[in-house]
Amino acid sequence: MAQTTIYPHEIGRDLIPELATRVYSSQLDSFREAISNAFDEGSKQVALAIRKDKIVIEDWGVGIRDYDEFRKFGQASKKSRSGEVIGEKGLGKLSLLNLGNSVCFETNNQRIGMRFYMSLAGFSKPVYGKRSNSFVDHIGTRITTTQLTCRVDVKEVVTYLKKAFGLRLAQGAKITVNGELIKPKSTLDPKESLLFMLQKSNSAAVTGNLKADKEGKGIVDVYIDHVFVTSVEIDTRRNFSGWVNCNALTPETSRNNIVQNEPYEELISGLRRYVTRFPLREIAIDKHKLLLSKELNTLLKSYIKDMKVSVKSYKNMNLNHGSSSSRAKTPPVTGKNDVKTMKLSSSFRSSNSQDSQGKRSATEDRNNGGTNIRWEYADLGNEKGPIYFVPPNTVYCNTSNDLFKFAMMKSRYYGPNWVRMLPYLARIAVEINGESSRLSFDQFYIKVDEATRYFLRQKRVLG
């Protein structure tokens, strides 16, 4: 075969503003990225000064060693370093342009002192000092952002950094804002132990601190490189809380979520097995809530089948793993018209064939090609939607959400119970397809409209 000449991609100037203002949606991300870069450069402390006319972020790391390398984006050079490195592709510095139009870098790398500026147009030519401490009187870097484009709420920044870097703070790192030291949350227990290994991901360790908690709602804070990324509902049937750290996970570019790849799926599967040691919660589910959930499940199951949606599932996961005392059993619905409260402590699954107890065998799961959807109940109030999807295969009915309560109200003026949940069910139907993450905003909601019409046709409301 004849050789083909390959011309590398060239980045146009219009891409930089796009990366700077669209990848990181919040000004808070800018502070996180700057502090993460400081920790990556070996700094044990970071000082922020937030004023009306400027924002200064100073660290005591190794300083900027190579101006030309610093200007580059998209090279995952940091990951070649030993130890935990938070940043990866060098995009974080662009997030500073969310705060202001001019960013000044002053650095002392022990060999030379250097000063240069960054704007949306690019980087200025560096000015070198005659001495290493010409601009910064210690080894490290000072970043000063001016021409501010937004108002920064200091209290909001402190609250955010306390969450994002709570573990690092508990492990000895120091962050100050306007001279005040940020302290980790008193409820955060930094004691860390090995929970299990990810066998499919180069035997990566999953460490953390999970414990029984009467106030816990089965939600786990997930950290990568000991920096908070997101919270995930693992098993809302159980009373536990805590955090896990897994460096095999891949954060999305904005670091506000996790790429749902094989390590992520293996993590979730392992956590669901691990937490079966914790006590079951008593969530009161009456017959009408159960019937609504089953009605929504039937609609969703039909959509998945007719639209040929491929749903990921944990084929080898045993949800009742553990001792017999911890196994969940679903109580039967008794009575024709009574609304006797049931303590529902297990999920029901979408399936075409179930045994007399509503359980499904592992063989049937395998034959279904891994399209099993789990439905769970939660009482997370208005922090979460009335029903919502947690990838890759769980739908939660948030019974304490005001809109879920509205859906359960008995009034002929409001229409059937299921129709009040239709906007949320249509969104879930689209989100279940892993390809939905590639859709634009407009494309996503066109799909939601299509799913809504599908459900209305299923109920013979539309022809």
Does the structure show a pLDDT above 60 at 352? no
Q: Could you tell me which residue, 287 or 370, shows the higher pLDDT?
A: 287
Q: Are strands 240-245 and 219-224 parallel, antiparallel or unpaired?
A: parallel
Does the structure show a pLDDT above 90 at 315? no
Total residues found in the chain within this entry: 463
Does the structure show a pLDDT above 60 at 349? no
At residue 203, the pLDDT reads 82
Q: What integer is the mean pLDDT of 188-197?
A: 95
At residue 140, the pLDDT reads 96
pLDDT, one tens digit per residue, over 210-235 is 999 998 889 999 999 999 999 998 98
How far apart, in whole angstroms, are the C-alpha atoms of residue 426 and residue 296? 10
Does the structure show a pLDDT above 60 at 241? yes
How far apart, in whole angstroms, are the C-alpha atoms of residue 346 and residue 130? 70
At residue 367, the pLDDT reads 33
Q: What integer is the mean pLDDT of 401-419?
A: 91
CATH topology of domain 15-181: Heat Shock Protein 90 (3.30.565)
How far apart, in whole angstroms, are the C-alpha atoms of residue 135 and residue 144? 12
Q: What angle do CA 309, 313, 319 make, to 5 degrees?
A: 145
pLDDT, one tens digit per residue, over 91-127 is 778 889 989 999 999 999 999 999 999 998 889 999 9
At residue 89, the pLDDT reads 54
Helical spans, DSSP H, in 246-398: 262-274, 287-306, 362-367
Does the structure show a pLDDT above 90 at 337? no
Q: Worst-scoring range by mean pLDDT, 146-160, 161-175, 333-347?
A: 333-347
- What radius of gyration do the chain's Cα atoms show? 26
Residue 366, token pair as written in the block? 């395998």
78 alpha carbon, distance to own chain's centre: 22
The conformation of residue 298, written as its DSSP 8-state character, comes to H
How far apart, in whole angstroms, are the C-alpha atoms of residue 134 and residue 113? 6
Q: What integer is the mean pLDDT of 184-190?
A: 90
| Helix (H) / strand (E) containing 155 | helix 154-164
Instruction: Tell me the average pLDDT of the chain.
Output: 82
Q: What integer is the mean pLDDT of 409-414?
A: 87
pLDDT, one tens digit per residue, over 61-99 is 999 999 998 887 765 555 544 555 655 556 778 889 989
pLDDT band at 312 (very low <50, low <70, confident <90, very high): low
Q: Could you tell me which residue, 78 or 253, shows the higher pLDDT?
A: 253
At residue 255, the pLDDT reads 81
Does the structure show a pLDDT above 70 at 321? no
Residue 389, token pair as written in the block? 């999807």
Helical spans, DSSP H, in 262-413: 262-274, 287-306, 362-367, 402-408
How far apart, in whole angstroms, are the C-alpha atoms of residue 155 and residue 138? 28
At residue 363, the pLDDT reads 29
% of the chain beyond a pLDDT of 70: 80
Q: What integer is the mean pLDDT of 384-400?
A: 89
Q: What are phi and psi of 193, to 5 degrees?
A: -140, 160
Q: Are strands 374-378 and 394-398 parallel, antiparallel or unpaired?
A: parallel
Q: Could you tell me which residue, 325 or 185, shows the higher pLDDT?
A: 185
SS3 7: coil
Could you tell me which of 223, 164, 232 has the C-alpha nearest to residue 380? 232
At residue 85, the pLDDT reads 62
Does the structure show a pLDDT above 70 at 461? yes
At residue 351, the pLDDT reads 34
At residue 275, the pLDDT reads 96
Residue 142, token pair as written in the block? 């000072």
Q: Which residue has the tokens 């609250």?
A: 159
How far apart, in whole angstroms, are the C-alpha atoms of residue 175 and residue 48? 8
Q: Could you tell me which residue, 273 or 73, shows the higher pLDDT?
A: 273
Q: What integer is the mean pLDDT of 20-36?
A: 83
Domain ranges of the chain: 15-181, 193-277, 283-458
Could you tell me which of 285, 384, 391 has the C-alpha nearest to residue 340? 285
pLDDT band at 370 (very low <50, low <70, confident <90, very high): very low
pLDDT band at 292 (very low <50, low <70, confident <90, very high): very high
How far apart, in whole angstroms, are the C-alpha atoms of residue 250 and residue 373? 24
pTM of the model: 0.72
How far apart, in whole angstroms, are the C-alpha atoms of residue 349 and residue 304? 14
Q: Worst-scoring range by mean pLDDT, 59-68, 231-240, 452-461?
A: 231-240
Residue 434, token pair as written in the block? 């892993």
Q: What angle do CA 439, 13, 40 make, to 5 degrees?
A: 80
**Sign of the dihedral defined by the CA atoms of residues 9, 14, 17, 18, in that order:** negative
Distances (CA, A) of 71 to 89, 111, 146, 170, 333: 11, 19, 19, 33, 65
Q: Could you tell me which residue, 131 or 12, shows the higher pLDDT?
A: 131
Q: What integer is the mean pLDDT of 280-303?
A: 88
Does the structure show a pLDDT above 50 at 386? yes
